[in-house]
Structure 1
Amino acid sequence: MYIGKSYNIFEFLTWTKAKIYTLLFLGFIPVCLYHIFGVKWVAIPWSVIAMLGTATAFILAFKNNLSYNRSLEAQEVWTTILSNSRSWGLVSQDYIENNEASKTLIYNHLAWITALRYSMRTYQSWETTDKKHNINYRKHFKIPEQQTTLEEELAEYVKPEMLENILKARNTATYIMSLQSKTLKSLYEKQEITVAHFIDMEKSIKEFYNLQGKSEHIKHSPFPRQYNIINNLLIQSFSFLLPYGLLADFNKLNDSVDGFMKGNMIWLIIPFSCLISWLYASIAQVGENTENPFEGGANDVPISQISFQVEAELREMLGEASIKDLSIHQNNIIL
């Protein structure tokens, strides 16, 4: 998540520079054909461009709205995880007099949220982290889950004999939560927790499972590919045809100017067509990098930061100091 006031224009231009170069080239070709080689028939009516631009704007707005909704849903899920985790830390201490048992329940929960955030960072084929513009931009920040392994992180919370089985599990977060439930059952059988408290905490586990499922649904369900291909086709078609639709109009401007620019107004098509197409393409690129809110991009939901915050607050409840630095942000980016 970017926490600055705004990206600066230089950052944004750098992030989209590949598209700028392509659009400048696409604008140069029709101008050369029309102005230098005299191929006048390449000019197309502006009405065609207007219709195509309108259709592109509609589908672009639709796609970006869906992308934002996915990101917003992901933010809501992890905000709920944060709130419920605070409640879990509270009841783990208030319901159980055995301090060691309380600590086990809290540490198991920290292990669960750690396993969940690591699973959210796994690469999916439809994500955009492997695209060149995102690879280049990642020099501004580091993804915490790529700095340490899951095994190293979980070793802080669970016993070595349990860690091996957890790492072998198909879904580590699910397995850890099942261990949490078994721990609760054991406490109930030992009469260290009342039936009312046992039921209440089991309901909390069910809620955590629901939140995990919602998070996994967003992670493993890509934005509908049918809308994605239509969006790309429209933007590419519009960007390619736009300079051809401007040829006749810019050529007419030569009649109203004098001096150096007379006869050369048509060359202005290159920067203006690039600017217009760049705006469309940039909006599309922003939407593309918003639709996968856990992939490890600069605009992602800060699940690592939320996890670190949960750990800091729950450790504080236990009277321990957090080993995670919550103040860290890299170039106004928190993950």
Structure 2
Amino acid sequence: MHAGRRFTLTEILVWTRREILVLFGLSLVPTVLYAGLGWHWLGMPWVPIALVGTATAFVVGFKNNATYSRLWEARQVWGSIVNTSRSWAVFVRDWVGSAPPTGPGFLDARQQLIYRHVAWLTALRFQLRESRAWEHMHEPANVEYARNYRIAERETILAEELAPYLTPAEAAYVLGKKNRATHLLALQSQQLKELLDHDHLNNLLHLQLVPLLVNLYEQLGRCERLKNFPYPRQFATLNLLFVRLFAGLVPFGLLPEFEKLGAHFVWLTIPFSMLVAWIFLAMEKAGETAENPFEGGPNDVPITALSRNIEIDLRELLDELTIPAALQAENNILL
């Protein structure tokens, strides 16, 4: 997530410089042939090109609206996770008896239940940061921009991150599963049942805690849907094709238009066709950055920072004194 006022013009131009160079070539070649060699047959009527541009604008607008909806849904999911996490911690702290934990390393069952929830957040964010074939972080411009910040999940090991929050047996069990977040919630349910069976939790409060686990399963499923089901490839492919087609046609339509102003004005085709095409390409790339809200891009939902904030809230509810600091933005990027 960009945490500053705005991206600078320099950042945008550097990010799109490859497209700018391509547009320069696409504008220069037909202009030189038209004005220098007299190939006036290259000129095309502007009306059909404008119709292509209108259709392209609708397609780009549709994509950007759809991808923004994916990004906003992802933020809503994590807002729900924040709220449910706080509810879970408060109920566990106030209503679970001072029962012994199910393994070494914890003061009581309350601390273990809350720490295991932090482990669930950790496993979830690691799962969401895994790469998918349709994601865009491997593209050169995105790889370059990613040097401005760090993606914690790609610099650390999950086993090391889980160690402070789980018993060794639980950590080994969870790491042996494919969907670690699912099995951590299963361990929570298992411990609640054990507490209920040993009268450390009454039935009424058990019925209050179980729906919280169900809600967390629902939010996990929504995260997995956003992660594993991309923006439909047919729409993404046609959108890119239409934008590139329009960008290639623009200079051919502007050549005769600028010639009407005078022979020397033909050369204005180069900057103006670059500008028109760049706007469409930049908007297409902007929509592309919102397609996958968990891939580690600068416009993603900051799940690492949100997880840390939840951990701080939960450990403060336990009145712990040693609490990690909130994450800060690096070069205005917060992940």
Shared fold (TM-score greater than 0.5)?
yes
Alignment of 1:93-242 (within 5 A): 93-98=93-98, 100-242=108-250
Matched, 1:251 2:259: yes
SS at match of 1:264: helix
Q: CA deviation at 1:97?
A: 2.6
Q: Is the 8 A contact 1:64 1:287 kept in 2?
A: yes
Q: Is the 8 A contact 1:312 1:321 kept in 2?
A: no
- TM-score computed with the length of structure 1 as normaliser: 0.96
What letter is aligned with 1:195? N
1:224-283 deviation per Cα after TM superposition (whole angstroms, max 9, x unaligned): 1111111011101100010000110111111xxxxxxxx321111111100110010000
What letter is aligned with 1:287? G
1:33-64 deviation per Cα after TM superposition (whole angstroms, max 9, x unaligned): 11111111111110111100000000000000
1:154-207 deviation per Cα after TM superposition (whole angstroms, max 9, x unaligned): 001001122111101020000111011001000000000000111111111111
Matched, 1:319 2:327: no
Deviates more, 1:43-52 or 1:317-326: 317-326
Q: Is the 8 A contact 2:24 2:274 kept in 1?
A: yes
Q: CA deviation at 1:322?
A: 5.4
SS at match of 2:326: coil
Match of 1:77 in 2: 77
Rounded to whole Å, the distance in 2 between the matches of 1:2 and 1:180 is 35
Rounded to whole Å, the distance in 2 between the matches of 1:140 and 1:118 is 20
Instruction: Name structure 2 gaps, 5 residues minimum.
Output: 99-106
Identical aligned pairs, as a percentage?
39
Rounded to whole Å, the distance in 2 between the matches of 1:230 and 1:217 is 23
What letter is aligned with 2:231? F
Rounded to whole Å, the distance in 2 between the matches of 1:265 and 1:321 is 72
Rounded to whole Å, the distance in 2 between the matches of 1:162 and 1:77 is 27
Q: Is the 8 A contact 1:311 1:322 kept in 2?
A: no
Rounded to whole Å, the distance in 1 between the matches of 2:110 and 2:125 is 23
Moved over 6 A (4+): none
Rounded to whole Å, the distance in 2 between the matches of 1:136 and 1:327 is 22
Rounded to whole Å, the distance in 1 between the matches of 2:211 and 2:146 is 40
Match of 2:48 in 1: 48
Rounded to whole Å, the distance in 2 between the matches of 1:320 and 1:27 is 64
Rounded to whole Å, the distance in 2 between the matches of 1:229 and 1:153 is 38
Q: CA deviation at 1:32?
A: 1.1
Rounded to whole Å, the distance in 1 between the matches of 2:324 and 2:139 is 30
Q: Is the 8 A contact 2:289 2:297 kept in 1?
A: yes
Q: CA deviation at 1:323?
A: 4.6
What letter is aligned with 1:233? L
- How many residues align? The count is 327
Deviates more, 1:101-110 or 1:324-333: 324-333
Q: CA deviation at 1:81?
A: 0.1
SS at match of 2:96: coil
Instruction: Name structure 1 gaps, 5 residues minimum.
Output: 255-262
Matched, 1:27 2:35: no
SS at match of 2:137: coil
Alignment of 1:276-315 (within 5 A): 276-315=276-315
Q: Is the 8 A contact 1:316 1:322 kept in 2?
A: no
Rounded to whole Å, the distance in 2 between the matches of 1:272 and 1:117 is 44
Q: Is the 8 A contact 1:30 1:244 kept in 2?
A: yes
Rounded to whole Å, the distance in 2 between the matches of 1:278 and 1:324 is 44
Rounded to whole Å, the distance in 1 between the matches of 2:274 and 2:90 is 57
Q: Is the 8 A contact 2:305 2:327 kept in 1?
A: no
Deviates more, 1:58-67 or 1:161-170: 161-170
Match of 2:67 in 1: 67
Rounded to whole Å, the distance in 2 between the matches of 1:321 and 1:90 is 18
